[in-house]
Amino acid sequence: MSRTIWMNGAFMAEDQAQVPIFDRGLLFADAVYEGLGVLDGQVVDFAYHMARLKRSLSELKMDEPMDEAEWKTMLAELIARNDVQEGFIYLHITRGVHDRDYLYPEGLKPNMFAFTQPQHGGGADEAPEALKLGTAPDIRWARRDIKTTNLLGQVLAKVAARDAGADEALMIDPEGYVTEGGAVSFFMVKDGVLYARPLLGELLPGVTRASMLRVADELGLEIREDRYQLESVFEADEAFVTGASSYVQPVSHVDDRQIGDGSAGPVTLKLREAYLAAVRSGFTSD
């Protein structure tokens, strides 16, 4: 069954959507995107996603093509048309179309589209599967804080992890410090303390990351944001990742080294339960 997608203000079958070959998003990755989770038929952390989208557009000096109310209405209809109860929405905005040139004229009309995907892996109401991570060098461009479509560094890291028998990549910067996963934020727990690498413009400001840290603070957990190397991960009691479609998901191994006892730890499970409860209690971040 064909999905209904949204493109430039209209809903249509996915096979009807077209992008011009001179679109700057295609030629230069001159585009931004958002990946939004859907749970119980609702967008998760809508306000956080809109704030990040606005920032990405601003950093690339792109105008906001729609306001929050318009985005919210469109996303709700997209969810309804595809009957999504739990899954993922991909939203993409390019600078627009112009003959290939590094420079661009002002006033280009952006191309926009959005589509849904079903939930991959375990859902919110299932026991979370522990992931195996494989390390890879972090070769991404320096402006990782902007959510652009320039994702080849993540693609190469995730392919290398897959080829090594892992489920996801864990990227390591040139100084040997852990940054984040290919498509997730990474955390570890040692002696009851939650460790997270600070953003500092070096990481993507993950929406689920921010929500989870807020939940952890409300639970009274001690949180330390600092850089740490891979050896510290090997010595951790627990590790987990966060993402729009993975929520809070435990990590069992990194480079074939078992983390803790290899299962979802108590802090990880407590955070997952509290995060999902917060999301479902009225979706307060709207």
Q: Nearest to residue 170, comparing CAs of 137, 212, 204, 213? A: 137
Distance between CA atoms of 26 and 18, rounded to whole angstroms? 12
| Average pLDDT score over residue span 180-189 | 97
43 pLDDT higher than 60: yes
Q: How confident is the model at residue 201 (pLDDT cuts 50, 70, 90)?
A: confident
228 pLDDT higher than 50: yes
Cβ neighbors of 56 (< 8 A, separation 6 or more) are: 32, 146, 147, 148
Distance between CA atoms of 154 and 74, rounded to whole angstroms? 29
Q: Give the domain 4-118 fold.
A: D-amino Acid Aminotransferase; Chain A, domain 1 (3.30.470)
Question: Structural domain boundaries of the chain?
Answer: 4-118, 131-281
What's the pLDDT at 284? 42
Beta bridge partners of 39: 42, 86
54 pLDDT higher than 70: yes
Architecture of domain 131-281: Alpha-Beta Barrel (3.20)
| Average pLDDT score over residue span 226-254 | 96
| Average pLDDT score over residue span 53-82 | 98
Residues recognised as catalytic: 147
Q: What percentage of the chain exceeds 70 in pLDDT?
A: 98
What's the pLDDT at 282? 63
* Main-chain dihedrals φ then ψ at residue 152, nearest 5 degrees: -65, -35
pLDDT in tens, 144-161: 999 999 999 999 999 999
What burial letters (b/e) apply to 70-92, b meaning 16+ CB within 10 Å?
ebbebbeebbeebebebbbbebb
- Evaluate whether 133 touches 167 at the Cβ level (below 8 Å): yes
